[in-house]
A and B are shown apart, each in its own frame.
Chain A
Amino acid sequence: MSLTSTTADGTQIVTVNAERIDAAMAIQFKEDMRATTENGPERVILDLSEVKFIDSSGLGAIVAAMKQLGQGRKLDLAGLTPMVDKVFRLTRMDTVFDLYASLPDAQSANRLNS
């Protein structure tokens, strides 16, 4: 699992460099997210624009990644491709996360709120 992390304007941006978050990589994703987001800023944006497919295991791993951030921190999702978007809506997980069409959208929401 390859994740890239940058921090700008007090927000951590984690990009998933993979086409899938599925059963074969869900546990690795969760562990890599833990290592990457430990002791970071309050807001984390997960850039999913390269991810073309996610299954229920991958969805569970993203929920786990949010839970392990702990209190006072927030995981927002950006750049959902059509199949990923469909899985979030069908499971109503779109009511749990703030979803943004693109990374710039998510970043400008940050500036508006601050």
Chain B
Amino acid sequence: MAETFTCSFTATELDARSGIQTVLDRLRAMGVPEARADEVQIALTEAVNNVVEHAYAGMAVGDVNIDCSLDTDHLWVSIGDSGVPFKNNELPSGARQDLTVATEDLPEGGFGWLLIRELTSDVQYERSDSGNNLALRFELQARNAKPA
């Protein structure tokens, strides 16, 4: 039986920071190992940054709804928003960029989706009338016993 919880916050940089911290505190308390929790924090931050920067761009800022479902061997973290869809309703590939270029030509962006793809075992995206739902899956081989 999966354990679930939800957390909502306004899609601003500072509210996102504290909202993500709340989610991570909860996951650690539920026994997600520290190294995996760090990885969830990195990937979740990138997904939420995208909502803040793109989904609500040019419209009234809305909420980000985080929905976590923790099973014995995996964790799903869903990020919901009521903003605009991804371009062409498709997720960015997160492809690696060429880093063997001259310093002045090095990329300064495009690392967010690379990090999400590297840190998750699956990514699902659904667009509905009410908005976007992005679900990130993380494997949990060595979940700790829950603290008493």
Inter-chain CA distance A24–B41, complex, in Å, is 16
Closest to B49 in A: A23
Contact B96 A86 (CB under 8 A): no
Q: Could you say which residues of chain B place their CB within 8 Å of the CB of A66?
A: 103, 106
**How many A-B contacts if CB must be within 8 Å?**
67
Contact A95 B118 (CB under 8 A): no
Inter-chain CA distance A67–B52, complex, in Å, is 27
Known: A23-B49, A55-B46, A90-B115. A96 touches B99 (CB 8 A): yes
Kindly identify, within residues 64 to 114 of chain A, every residue whose CB is under 8 Å from any CB belonging to chain B.
64, 66-67, 82-83, 86-87, 90-93, 95-96
Q: Which 5 A-B pairs have the closest CB atoms?
A: A56-B111, A24-B13, A60-B108, A56-B112, A90-B118
Inter-chain CA distance A49–B73, complex, in Å, is 33
Q: Could you say which residues of chain A place their CB within 8 Å of the CB of B26?
A: none
Q: Can you name 4 extra interface pairs (CB under 8 A) apart from A23-B53, A86-B42?
A: A22-B45, A63-B108, A67-B106, A96-B106
Interface residues of B (CB under 8 A from A): 13-14, 17, 35, 38-39, 41-42, 45-46, 49, 52-53, 96, 99, 103-104, 106-112, 114-115, 118-119
Contact B115 A87 (CB under 8 A): yes
Quick one: which of B38, B49, B96, B99 contacts A55, CB cutoff 8 A? B49
Closest to B34 in A: A82
B90 to chain A, nearest CB (A): 19
Contact B45 A55 (CB under 8 A): yes
Contact A90 B114 (CB under 8 A): yes
Contact A86 B45 (CB under 8 A): no
